[in-house]
Structure 1
């Protein structure tokens, strides 16, 4: 007897999302977007500014509802905050009045895990992200890279089956960003959750992902193309960029992305000209 195939980790079908602007005019961020992310898949989403990359994440998380279409996580329709989903924002969400260990243990304690067990698990994850010895420090005593490690531990301690990441390393310097990317891949490999990673950096997308999705320029953005990244794992981010196959994939994706970047730039300059004229 044939085993029934399990549903994908994330599935968006013909999703449209409209907003009302400050002026009261409607704005369509996404239109008829179809996106599937399988269990254990690392999917990077790239596209020009304003194409709805972050909006896609908020729809999966349940922070926003689609205007049309459907969103499902592990086969269940998203009708509120989605359980089993971690969300790492561009600006870290660690609490400034709590120590590192209290920040990392907050999730399990909120879910009812006894304090002693939650603190033990937090210390283990703090060690895994390379912050052993910093358990009692407060966020203002940490560097930007250390704060990102705390944010990673905050998410991973809850053992999410899906992780949404909205340009989480964009504020870091180049060297720290590469180091954080390597640490992310090593930690992701422990449990292999499905990941949707939004970035403006095409090299970062290819170095991390199994799949790179290109969105069209907004408004009414949708998926233009999807590319499989067939580079071997495990990967070292700084080294994989020298692989000839990396360059081949980069050129393929850039050919699809470049037109959308040009369209978005043309739209933004036209808007600037219109504002000056008025």
Structure 2
């Protein structure tokens, strides 16, 4: 069942000299319930703007964005958003950070903490439930952020390069952790990344966007069975063939974005 639909969605922002800047144009693609879709494209092409349109944080300037068949006119129910930077509160412990969402939704404090503790355990931080963010490593903070997102049982997960600041080893661990926790939830995921390997390792489909103003250039199916071990699948012939196919499409857009940046400079 389709839960997200973009139909010729365009977003313009005020630009220098009163001229509008088009961030994305005529975006058209769907995401089904339980589907993991990764979005890749050149730096600054508008990938994050796409998430803002789906989340309702930004309205489209033209076209339509729908969730559950209804036009997005605000933040839809059941949407979880994981940003590049952690949204953890430094004055709250791990468990209280995770409990914040259920508390905001009206759950009693004891019930919210009990629900949060379940997710703290699921992300492997039970021993650190009483720790504060400054006492945690970068990977542990990302686990907290993941628990914060999943504790609210979202139907849609929007993820904006959530692991980009991590070292390679920690990043792979978090990719496996994300797949383990997402599998079976039925949540639709839209995952923005600059890392094509990450996109292929995680996703069912990869959306390639053009250089800005971005539109959808191509959409590729990822023929890798689930469940996945992200380290192991990178060595398979299917992964390598998929990477070559998608990179052939993406490479031209990366090169064009670089040329335009040089010309503008």
Over 2 Å off, 4+ runs: 21-25
Shift in Å, 1:83: 1.3
1:207 aligned to 2:207? no
Shift in Å, 1:82: 1.7
| Counterpart residue number, 2:130 | 136
Query: Pairwise mapping of residues 27-176 of structure 1 onto structure 2 (< 5 A)?
Result: 27-176=21-170
Shift in Å, 1:22: 4.9
1:20 aligned to 2:11? no
Match of 2:229 among 232, 236, 249: 236
Q: How far apart, CA to CA, are the structure 1 residues paired with 2:184 and 2:98?
A: 18
Shift in Å, 1:35: 1.4
Shift in Å, 1:21: 2.4
Q: How far apart, CA to CA, are the structure 2 residues paired with 1:117 and 1:252?
A: 49
Shift in Å, 1:77: 1.4
Match of 2:251 among 251, 258, 265: 258
Q: How far apart, CA to CA, are the structure 2 residues paired with 1:22 and 1:184?
A: 40
TM-score by length of 1: 0.94
Shift in Å, 1:24: 3.2
3-state DSSP of counterpart to 2:183:
helix
1:268 aligned to 2:253? no
TM-score by length of 2: 0.98
3-state DSSP of counterpart to 1:245:
helix
Structure 1 residues 221-252: Cα deviation after superposition (integer angstroms, max 9, x where no partner): 10000000010111111110001000110011
Query: Pairwise mapping of residues 179-194 of structure 1 onto structure 2 (< 5 A)?
Result: 179-194=173-188
Shift in Å, 1:116: 1.2
Q: Please list every run of 5 or more consecutive structure 1 residues that lacks an aligned counterpart in the other structure.
A: 1-5, 273-278
Structure 1 residues 41-62: Cα deviation after superposition (integer angstroms, max 9, x where no partner): 0000000011110000000001
Q: How far apart, CA to CA, are the structure 2 residues paired with 1:154 and 1:75?
A: 27
1:217 aligned to 2:206? no
Q: How far apart, CA to CA, are the structure 2 residues paired with 1:98 and 1:23?
A: 44
Shift in Å, 1:23: 4.5
3-state DSSP of counterpart to 2:127:
coil
Q: Please list every run of 5 or more consecutive structure 2 residues that lacks an aligned counterpart in the other structure.
A: none
3-state DSSP of counterpart to 2:10:
strand
Shift in Å, 1:190: 3.5
3-state DSSP of counterpart to 2:128:
coil
3-state DSSP of counterpart to 1:136:
coil
3-state DSSP of counterpart to 1:101:
helix
Q: Give the aligned length.
A: 265
